[in-house]
Structure 1
Amino acid sequence: MATVSKRAGAGASTRNTIQRALVLEAVRSLHNHPTSADVYDVVRGKHPNISRATVYRNLGVLSERGEVLRVEVPNGADRYDFFNDPHYHAKCRVCGQIFDVDMPYCADLVSQVSDTHGFKIEGHEIIFDGVCVGCQASSPS
């Protein structure tokens, strides 16, 4: 009975691994910090029978495992980044695109916080707001 159980688990794991690989491939193919909907569209284009829930669930697993970075965007859809080392982002307030910011990650930034109100800070994410080059070029001002 235990052997059957292992086989069933291995089959499910293999299927999930294949689905996960498809989702990871889609994130890597989209170099513009895609939303989960963007990733779903790419995966569905290649594999029409995959469900939205499967793609979203696998994005969560990949994020939890550190294989992709989930960028939580205030007042917007979360984005996913294949470059998962800690780094900063900028968000265009006009078009909503997310960009990597080319600056060193300040791992000791937490040590500069003077009053945490008892909160134990475990990390940080910074998203700079502004207007991207494309939107600046198309703006009349």
Structure 2
Amino acid sequence: MEKRNTIQKQLVLDAVAQLADHPTADEVYAHIAQKHPTVSKATVYRNLSSLSEDGVLRHVRMPEGADRFDYTLTPHFHIECICCGALCDVCLDENKEISRKVEQMTGYCDVQYDIVFTGVCPACRKHETE
């Protein structure tokens, strides 16, 4: 069954692209609501989920805090600042050997992984030293 491309879905996609900082669902909703106050939070959440399931957006599951959404679909990792919560891309090559080892150890197949590093960003580090 083919999914429809609705105006609301396009608004959500555009918002994630415009925010470009790995926004949370609430941030996407707030961005859209500024210009389109009739769009409900449920509609935004539903479309984020649908776009992620369809592979149009990347759903970044955060170990602590609200999940984020990413417009960049090429394989990459993320790093989150433990002070300010900023989330940035880390462009490292995937290590296929990790997936193979996990498959061998567990019996699972088609193993995928998403790594979120943590640390203190340069801006927060600079602020701490002042």
TM-score, normalization: structure 1? 0.82
State the match for 1:19 in structure 2: 8
Number of residue pairs aligned between Structure 1 and Structure 2: 129
State the match for 2:87 in structure 1: 98
In 1, Cα distance between equivalents of 2:13 and 2:104: 39
Unaligned segments of structure 2, at least 5 residues: none
State the match for 1:73 in structure 2: 62
In 1, Cα distance between equivalents of 2:98 and 2:112: 9
Which of 30, 42, 50 aligns to 2:31? It is 42
In 2, Cα distance between equivalents of 1:51 and 1:114: 41
State the match for 2:17 in structure 1: 28
In 1, Cα distance between equivalents of 2:96 and 2:29: 33
In 2, Cα distance between equivalents of 1:115 and 1:109: 10
- Runs of 4+ displaced beyond 3 Å: 13-16, 112-115, 117-121
How far 1:18 moved relative to its partner? 0.8
User: What percent of counterpart residues are identical?
Assistant: 42
C-alpha RMSD of the superposition = 2.3
TM-score, normalization: structure 2? 0.88
Unaligned segments of structure 1, at least 5 residues: 1-12
Listed as ranges, the matches of 1:44-59 within 5 Å are 44-59=33-48
**Highest CA radius of gyration, 1 or 2?**
1
